[in-house]
């Protein structure tokens, strides 16, 4: 079901069961725009069924935040003018050449070309018969740094902010509503070994996000976050990133943490520390 965030912004919440991301709707005076296409025909159609119940200007544009399967498998079924980063398009074109049946998917996992988490979610959302004739849609408009779409009375400022999760990670900022769709930009790198953050990519990305006056943030795989909640998360990430430094051993960071904070790191902070340590290992040992 679509939820109203502001007069011009609605969203369909994420569903962890099959890794369905948040899908967004921005309503202009002339046209409306969709944020991300969903992870299947069924997901896209469920969203469109809800939109069709609304009396709004026609859907015209679809913005894809990045190339991962759960954001692009619904493109063909949205049937809209699709906008994405140039690297997103490159990945989508590559994905069109792949075999998505179980055997081929399992082989890519074995080779490290796909991750087990995504493979298992694809199989849950799209059982084998549905993947036999999987259609991945086309892209119409690409950008390098950013693009602004005027919907009439409201605009979508689309910007590539990179980050650990994917180089093509891009946000949609609606300044009139003070709303930002984050996609997966704030999440870790999932595709090169252990899930990880790097200060070199994360910190500049955070600064780009914080630079805009925003009231609501919508990450793709979580609830809507207020400005206060999001800035608190960013402060925690920056604190733990700086605290971890270049260290690659958790026990050493833990010892320093206990000495400085007079307590054990809680579960959340320990997770962040490990994520930065994993990033440090990749930086130092996997060049």
Q: What is the pLDDT of residues 147-172, one digit of tens each?
A: 999 999 999 999 999 999 999 999 99
pLDDT at residue 128 tops 90: no
Do residues 162 and 244 both lie within one domain? no
Tokens standing for residue 231: 């800035």
Lowest mean pLDDT among 10-19, 129-138, 240-249: 129-138
Same domain, 75 and 132: yes
Please name the residue ranges forming H helices in 177-266: 199-210, 227-244, 250-261
Same domain, 8 and 148: yes
Rounded average pLDDT over 245-259: 96
- In terms of domains, do 193 and 53 share one? yes
Q: Which pLDDT score, from 0 to 100, does residue 283 have?
A: 85
Domain that holds residue 61: 3-226
Strands 141-143 and 81-85: parallel
The pLDDT value given to residue 285: 67
Q: How many CB atoms lie within 10 A of CB 2?
A: 18
Decide if 199 is inside a domain.
yes
Query: Does position 273 have pLDDT exceeding 80, yes or no?
Result: yes
- pLDDT of 133 reads 83
Residue 231 lies in a domain: no
Residue 205 has pLDDT above 70, yes or no: yes
As a whole-number percent, the residues of the chain with pLDDT over 90 amount to 95
CB 148 within 8 A of CB 171: no
* Torsion sign (Cα): 74, 75, 78, 83: positive
C-alpha closest to that of 94 among 130, 132, 68, 74: 68
């Amino acid at each position: 079901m679509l939820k109203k965030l502001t007069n011009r912004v609605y969203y369909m919440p994420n569903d962890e069961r099959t890794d369905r991301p948040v899908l967004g709707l921005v309503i202009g005076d002339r046209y409306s725009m969709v944020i991300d296409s969903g992870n299947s025909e069924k997901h896209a159609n469920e969203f469109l069924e809800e939109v069709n119940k609304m009396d709004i200007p026609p859907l015209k544009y679809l913005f894809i935040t990045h190339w991962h399967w759960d954001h692009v498998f619904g493109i063909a079924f949205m049937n809209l003018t699709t906008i994405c980063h140039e690297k997103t398009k490159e990945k989508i074109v590559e994905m069109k050449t792949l075999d998505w049946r179980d055997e081929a998917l399992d082989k890519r996992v074995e080779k490290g070309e796909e991750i087990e988490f995504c493979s298992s979610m694809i199989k849950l959302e799209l059982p084998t018969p549905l993947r036999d004739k999987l259609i991945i849609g086309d892209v119409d408009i690409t950008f390098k740094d950013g693009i602004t779409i005027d919907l009439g009375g409201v605009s979508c400022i689309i910007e590539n902010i990179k980050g650990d999760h994917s180089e093509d990670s891009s946000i949609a900022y609606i300044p009139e509503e003070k709303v930002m769709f984050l996609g997966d930009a704030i999440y870790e790198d999932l595709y090169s070994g252990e899930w990880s953050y790097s200060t070199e990519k994360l910190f500049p990305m955070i600064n780009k996000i914080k630079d805009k006056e925003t009231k609501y943030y919508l990450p793709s795989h979580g609830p809507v976050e207020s400005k206060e909640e999001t800035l608190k998360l960013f402060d925690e990430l920056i604190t733990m990133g700086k605290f971890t430094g270049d260290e690659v051993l958790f026990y050493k960071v833990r010892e320093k943490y206990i000495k400085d904070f007079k307590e054990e790191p809680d579960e959340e902070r320990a997770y962040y520390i490990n994520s930065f340590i994993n990033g440090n290992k990749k930086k130092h040992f996997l060049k």
